[in-house]
């Protein structure tokens, strides 16, 4: 039985598309709630769940897709009905949280730090609803702040890059130049230099803080990566949401390696050509965070607070799909053990 309702376009965006298609100029916002979905199976969790995706939504191959997997797991394992909305413009984030809460969701996860301000407001107005926010901290009794040690997972793929690089030159492409993404950069660079202190790590960002186009700038990422590959770099890691597809395209054309992020991008790449050039991915278990938040709410645990996902609880890690890092997996696992034991301290800033 299908229990998941998908509404891929948030109300404001949907209206915008309709106006564009019809040539109209009415910019008023729709207030229609998400469509009702089928009830949970008998014996399943009676709570309705909600996922508010950030820009890119399902199909981004990384962050949002990982959250979607967590929702799907909540449906299959808990019998929970999960409703989804996607933000396509800034105003959608608050509107979508309001729509999900108004349509009966008892537990709602906002996917991304951009939900910080609207979630604080909506959580205060809906104290009976449990909220979760990925990659940010909202101090409220009914909000679970789901944060990750991205630097730890990035340290491992940085070490993998150094072990696999033949040129001694690798690269990192970030989305917005913000503290969150600098954690990815810092860990990656530190991991590479742990293996090879003399390695060169090129670094470039696709936009400053607040530039949301940085998460979907496929052409920009491809241009940067292609330039580095032409100059001798043989591996590029991209932490920029959907922009990473551009790095993969460049890797295919140059016959070099790309490293994915958030999801196991070997599995979401969509083609054998892409899979042949994805060395590994830094896996950030947003799916686990989403599932655990919904599971706790189903069991009556609605307490807020900070929940940390790191190497010690497999909240982050590296992917082995494709078998390209099988020969160095034992080395990477030794490094992981040292990080968990505190023998290696991973920096969170460059």
Q: Indicate whether 69 and 122 sit together in one domain.
A: yes
Q: Indicate whether 133 and 164 sit together in one domain.
A: no
Is residue 37 pLDDT above 80, yes or no? no
Q: Indicate whether 277 and 159 sit together in one domain.
A: yes
Q: Indicate whether 18 and 135 sit together in one domain.
A: yes
Share of the chain above pLDDT 90, in %: 80
pLDDT for position 112: 93
The answer to whether position 235 is within a domain reads: yes
The answer to whether position 348 is within a domain reads: no
Q: Indicate whether 180 and 327 sit together in one domain.
A: yes
The answer to whether position 347 is within a domain reads: no
Q: Which residues in 127-164 are b (16+ Cβ under 10 Å) and which e? A: eebbbbbbbbebebebbbbbbbbbbbbbbbbbbbbbbb
Under the banding of pLDDT at 50, 70 and 90, the label for residue 271 is very high
Task: Phi first, then psi: give them for residue 177, nearest 5 degrees.
Answer: -85, 80
The answer to whether position 350 is within a domain reads: no
Q: Indicate whether 91 and 169 sit together in one domain.
A: no
Q: Indicate whether 269 and 324 sit together in one domain.
A: yes
The answer to whether position 167 is within a domain reads: yes
CA angle, residues 152, 154, 160, in degrees to nearest 5:
115
Q: Indicate whether 85 and 159 sit together in one domain.
A: no
Q: Indicate whether 97 and 165 sit together in one domain.
A: no
CB 216 within 8 A of CB 242: yes
Question: Could you tell me the residue range of the domain that residue 165 belongs to?
Answer: 150-283+320-341
Q: Indicate whether 334 and 235 sit together in one domain.
A: yes
**Of 224, 219, 135, nearest to 173 (Cα)?**
224
Q: What is the pLDDT of residues 285-305, one digit of tens each?
A: 999 999 999 999 999 999 999
**Half-sphere exposure (Cβ direction) of 200: Cα atoms closer than 13 Å:** 11
pLDDT for position 255: 98
Q: What is the pLDDT of residues 130-188, one digit of tens each?
A: 999 999 999 999 999 999 999 999 999 999 999 999 999 999 999 999 999 999 999 99
CB 187 within 8 A of CB 150: yes
At 250, which CATH number? 3.40.50.2300
């Amino acid at each position: 039985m299908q229990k998941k309702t998908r509404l891929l376009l948030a109300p404001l965006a949907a209206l915008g598309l309709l106006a564009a298609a019809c040539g109209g100029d009415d910019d008023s916002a729709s207030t229609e709630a998400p469509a009702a979905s089928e009830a949970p199976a008998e014996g399943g969790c009676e709570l309705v769940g909600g996922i508010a995706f950030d820009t890119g939504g399902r199909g981004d191959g990384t962050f949002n897709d990982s959250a979607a997997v967590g929702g799907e797991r909540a449906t299959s394992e808990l019998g929970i009905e999960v409703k989804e909305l996607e933000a396509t413009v800034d105003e959608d984030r608050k509107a979508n949280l309001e729509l999900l809460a108004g349509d009966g969701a008892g537990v709602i996860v906002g996917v991304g730090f951009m939900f910080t301000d609207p979630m604080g407001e909506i959580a205060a107005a809906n104290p009976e609803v449990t909220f979760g926010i990925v990659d940010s901290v909202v101090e409220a009794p009914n909000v679970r702040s789901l944060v990750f040690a991205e630097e730890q997972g990035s340290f491992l793929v940085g070490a993998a890059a150094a072990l696999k690089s033949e040129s001694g030159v690798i690269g990192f492409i970030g989305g917005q130049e913000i503290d969150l993404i600098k954690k990815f950069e810092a860990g990656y660079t530190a991991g590479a230099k742990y293996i090879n202190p003399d390695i060169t790590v090129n670094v470039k960002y696709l936009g400053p803080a607040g530039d949301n186009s940085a998460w979907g700038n496929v052409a920009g990422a491809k241009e940067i990566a292609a330039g580095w590959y032409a100059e001798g770099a043989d591996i590029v890691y991209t932490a920029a949401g959907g922009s990473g597809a551009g790095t993969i395209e460049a890797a295919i054309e140059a016959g070099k390696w790309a490293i994915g992020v958030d999801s196991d991008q070997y599995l979401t790449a969509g083609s054998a050509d892409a899979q042949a050039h994805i060395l590994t991915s830094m896996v950030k278990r947003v799916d686990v965070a989403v599932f655990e938040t919904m599971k706790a709410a189903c069991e009556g645990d609605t307490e807020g607070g900070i929940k940390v996902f790191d190497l010690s609880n497999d909240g982050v890690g590296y992917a082995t799909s494709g078998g390209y890092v099988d020969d160095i997996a034992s080395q990477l696992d030794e490094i992981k053990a040292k990080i968990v034991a505190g023998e290696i301290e991973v920096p969170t800033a460059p």
